[in-house]
Amino acid sequence: MKIKIIQPGMLTTVQDVGRWGFQGKGMPVAGAMDLFALKIGNVMVGNNKDAACLEVTVLGPTLSVLEGEGAVVVTGADLGFSINGIASCCNTVYKVKEGDILSFSGMKGNGCRAYVVFSGGIDVPIIMGSRSTYLRAHIGGFDGRALVKGDVLNTGEPHILWQRFIDFKCPFDVLPERREGQPLRVVLGPQDEAFSPKGVETFLSESYKITDSADRMGYRLEGPVVEHLEGADIISDAIPLGSIQVPGHGQPIVMLADRQTTGGYTKIAVLCSPDISAIAQRLPGEKVSFKQVSFEEAVLITQKEAGQVSKLKQNVATWITRIPTSTIGHKSEMPVSSGTWKLTVDGHSYMVDWERIEN
């Protein structure tokens, strides 16, 4: 497919899971802010997990399908997605074809970032192992920048059975349960010992407002001062995704996708991976609070989220191997020429796509 940008929206960029492997060279990771939304999007249209999508922020773009046809799903926040002016659902796979218009009318209250995932993914050059856009250094994505009016994007090679993914709906129990006021889970460290017991207590018990300085690089928070023992500066070290820096002024900063790789401020705690996706959907003005979990608990929480993605994969596999409704009750006139079978060999299950070879 060819996709044309009619209106770019507030900030629309090409993102995948990120440019991992080069932080030691000073290269920021970038990638989708809500990684869970990207992952389930790719599963629902049959893409590989490294496929790229469009990350849409607050005010979505207007896109038109210039050429071809394919499957599309919008995940993450509901930004008022519609196809050809007809309100459409998030987490539901649609077929789009030449002439179709995808647009967004505005936020519906469950977050600020949506992910437009096409079958085949967005086909831009792979730079240092990733298609993600790193805006600050103009690397990756589409010309290293946010999309603008008139840009034309190609999608990659779709799943051979992409048509069969159409109409799939993500079950609600796969999606994360995010209640208002639910604290974000953190593991204390690496520099929690640089804070007074009172400082740690403040951080874990008070709530913090997300300020207007909240972007892909990080969210600056505002609230009761988190007290250091002696000074906030350390010898520069690595800044992990989701780490919470506290400079001398005592106000936390959550470091996100476009963070620099190293820095010299104390980090009191690091968010659990699933809660990095959760905060990425929050907006300036909203309040957040933190709850401590152990390292073991955090690993389990993250593994559980990965389990949800695996569960979705199973659901999708069942969906694409379903008996087409048109053949139920009567014998099809047309011989079936392709399909997907679940095979079990030595106790291991495999999904096998097959296609008839004409002689």
Partner 1 sequence: MEDQQWPKVLLAGDSCIIVEYGNSIGLEINARVQALRRILEKRKISGVHEFVPTYRSLAIYFDPVKVEQPMHFLSLLKRLAIAAESESGVEKGVGIIIPVCYGRDFGPDLDNVVHHTGLTEEEIINRHSSPDYYCYMLGFTPGFSYLGGMDETIATPRLKEPREKIPAGSVGIAGKQTGIYPIDSPGGWQLIGRTPLRMFDAGHEPPTLVDAGLWIRFQPISEEEYKNIEIQVAHGTYTPEMFNKGEVPA
How far is residue 102's CA from residue 206's CA, in Å, rounded to a whole number?
41
Which structure tokens are listed for 2? 């060819």
Strand 86-87 to strand 218-222: parallel, antiparallel, or no bridges (unpaired)? unpaired
How far is residue 189's CA from residue 83's CA, in Å, rounded to a whole number?
46
* Touching partner 1, residues 112-141 (CB under 8 A): 127-128, 137, 139-140
How far is residue 253's CA from residue 165's CA, in Å, rounded to a whole number?
40
242 binds partner 1 (CB under 8 A): yes
Closer of 32 and 72 to partner 1 (Cβ): 32
Q: Quick one: 86 exposed, middle or buried, by C-beta within 10 A (0-12, 13-18, 19+)?
A: exposed
For 75, the enclosing helix (H) or strand (E) is strand 69-76
252 binds partner 1 (CB under 8 A): no
The helix/strand/coil state of 53 is: strand
Q: Which stretch binds partner 1 (CB under 8 A): 76-84, 96-104, 188-196, 284-292?
A: 188-196
How far is residue 219's CA from residue 227's CA, in Å, rounded to a whole number?
19
Closer of 295 and 341 to partner 1 (Cβ): 295
CB 3 within 8 A of CB 62: no
336 binds partner 1 (CB under 8 A): no
Closer of 79 and 270 to partner 1 (Cβ): 270
How far is residue 193's CA from residue 50's CA, in Å, rounded to a whole number?
37
What character string, x for contact with partner 1 (CB under 8 A) and - otherwise, covers 22-41? xxxxxxx-------------
* Touching partner 1, residues 216-235 (CB under 8 A): 235
Instruction: Please select the residue that binds partner 1; options are 105, 205, 262, 349, rule is CB under 8 A.
Output: 262
Closer of 56 and 194 to partner 1 (Cβ): 194
Q: Which residues bind partner 1 (CB under 8 A)?
A: 20-28, 127-128, 137, 139-140, 186-191, 193, 235-238, 240-243, 260-263, 267, 270-273, 295-296, 298-303, 306
